Amino acid sequence: MKAEIAVMTAENIDRKAIARGGEILKNGGLVAFPTETVYGLGGNALDPKASMKIYAAKGRPSDNPLIVHIADIRDLDKIVTEVPEKARVLAEKYWPGPLTMILPKADIVPKETTGGLDSVAVRFPSDPIAQELILAAGGYVAAPSANTSGRPSPTTAGHVAEDLGEAIDMIIDGGQVNIGLESTIVDFTEDIPVVLRPGYISLEMLRETLGDVRMDKGLIKPDSKVHPKAPGMKYRHYAPKADLAIVEGSTEGVIAEIEKRAGEAEEKGLTVGIIATDETKGRYSHGIVKSIGSREQEETIAHHLYEVLRDFDSCNVSAIYSEAFFTPRMGQAIMNRLLKAAGHKIINVEEEKENDSTGM
Ligand code: TXA
Ligand code: MG
């Protein structure tokens, strides 16, 4: 089976195709669709069989819960038993948008959708195509990112087709997504809200609205014994075919270190990949250099991260070195994804000079 592909834009929505997608979802089928963060793989959230199909199509462990997408704030009360005041305030401020909230689930939501948990993740996306599809499907669409488990999340319909084109019924192609990283997840099942996954909405923005907000312990010290509370955050999301390492330090130190390693590889007849920025790409003389975006506009870095990682999989490189991107607002989210892709391999140039002990 090959997925039917429907191309449209947010300004010019193909209503017939949306109606067809809605029917497919109501009948238990799977439809991939754009959101403002990444493409989602949708199934009817209230149908346990549809959720099982999603896990199978992605090759995802079924203990890793799905996010239920809604397109009308009034639909929230049917799928949760309680909405704490702080969650209401946050929803008012950031919905529709790149925010997912964890709330106690109502019985109508099957355990298959929540990976066996008593809580449910809910998101109201701002993408008009996503909203129309959700409404056409009856209001509740479970959707993880539309990639094969272990690959970077898709930011174009082409990425979705590459991974899932043979496994699902329909792909709605709404062009390249806007943000490029998955939504911020905030857990409201404890007294103090906890960030389970950083995203476009930063910890600082959340604290501005809510006051006290914690970061999940499993995210702060990824190598410790504390498991992240979002089951999906414990998996190494994406292992590029070539080894990926992040090089951290002053701009000059980082460029010199990557140049040295790329030069050494070249002498051995190997090629390395380099993830640079618009500001630095001209400074490298070895390797295959790809600019991820501009440090002056950090959204561009978030926007291209997954695409660049996917691109390097089709290049024959022996290793990939990436500059670090601790940018002011989205740095937490960008580095969270990049560190996971690198299996937390980070080379600190300044430290290395002192004790030369990174073992890289
Ligand atoms: O931006 C997004 O959120 C995208 C688009 C498609 O909306 N979706 C997405 O879904 O990133 P997914 O399945 O790739 O990531 C969902 C994350 C996983 O880490 C999962 O473990 C966590 O949310 N999660 C879902 N339900 C949860 C719950 N009840 N408690 C804790 N974590 C939960
Ligand atoms: Mg995902």
- List, for residues 110-164, the tens digit of each pLDDT value: 999 999 999 999 999 999 999 999 999 999 999 999 999 988 999 999 999 999 9
Binding site membership of 122 for ligand 1 (Cβ less than 6 Å)? no
Residue 62: its pLDDT value, please? 87
120 vs 243 pLDDT, higher one: 120
Residues in binding site for ATP:
60, 64, 145, 153, 197, 238
Calculate mean pLDDT across residues 38-65: 96
CB of 332 within 6 A of ligand 1: the answer is no
pLDDT at 150: 86
| Å from CA of 65 to ligand 1 middle | 7
Instruction: List residues forming the annotated binding site.
Output: 37, 60, 64, 69, 123, 143, 145, 153, 183, 197, 238
Alpha carbon distance 19, 41 (integer Å):
17
Q: What's residue 355's pLDDT?
A: 45
Look at the alpha carbons of 191, 196, 197, 203 in this order and tell me if their dihedral is positive or negative.
positive
Question: Averaged over 215-231, what is the pLDDT?
Answer: 77
Mean pLDDT of the chain: 93
Pair 100, 80: CB distance under 8 Å: no
The count of other CB atoms within 10 Å of the CB of residue 99 is 25
Does ligand 1 have an atom closer than 6 angstroms to the CB of 160? no
Q: Which of 131, 153, 156, 182 to mutate to test the pocket of ligand 1 (most atoms within 8 A of CB)?
A: 182
Q: Whole-model pTM?
A: 0.94
Helix (H) or strand (E) holding 53: helix 48-58
| Among the bound ligands, the one closest to the CA of 199 | 1
Q: In this structure, are residues 70 and 172 in contact, taking their beta carbons and an 8 Å threshold?
A: no
Q: For ligand 1, say whether the CB of 62 is within 6 Å of any of its atoms.
A: no
Q: Which residue has the tokens 């995210």?
A: 219
Residue % of the chain over a pLDDT of 70:
95
pLDDT in tens, 304-351: 999 999 999 888 899 999 999 999 999 999 999 999 999 989 999 986
Mean pLDDT value across residues 30-57: 98
- Residue 229 has a pLDDT of 84
Task: For ligand 1, pick from 62, 117, 145 the residue to mutate: most ligand atoms within 8 Å of CB.
Answer: 145
Q: Which pLDDT score is estimated for 221?
A: 65
> From the CB of 117, is ligand 1 less than 6 Å away?
yes
Distance CA 334, CA 293 (A): 12
- Distance from the alpha carbon of residue 263 to the mean position of ligand 1, in angstroms: 41
For residue 185, the number of C-alpha atoms closer than 13 Å in the C-beta half-sphere is: 25
Atom number, ligand 1, closest to the C-alpha of residue 37 = 1
pLDDT recorded at residue 236: 64
Tokens 């691109």 found at: 311
pLDDT > 70? residue 303: yes
Assign residue 295 a region (left: φ > 0; alpha: ψ between -120 and 50; beta: otherwise).
alpha
What is the sign, positive or negative, of the torsion defined by CA atoms of 67, 68, 71, 75? Answer: negative
Residue 66 DSSP class: P
Per-residue pLDDT, 7: 98
Per residue in 172-199, pLDDT tens? Answer: 999 999 999 999 999 999 999 999 999 9
The residues near 204 (Cβ < 8 Å, ≥ 6 apart) are 329
Position 360 scores a pLDDT of 36
Q: Is 336 in the pocket of ligand 1 (CB under 6 A)?
A: no
Q: Which long-range contacts link 116-121 to residues 24+ away (Cβ below 8 Å)?
A: 116/63, 116/65, 117/65, 119/187, 119/189, 120/65, 120/68, 120/79, 120/80, 121/65, 121/66, 121/67, 121/68, 121/185
Nearest ligand atom owner, CA of 197? 1
144 C-alpha to ligand 1 centroid (Å): 6
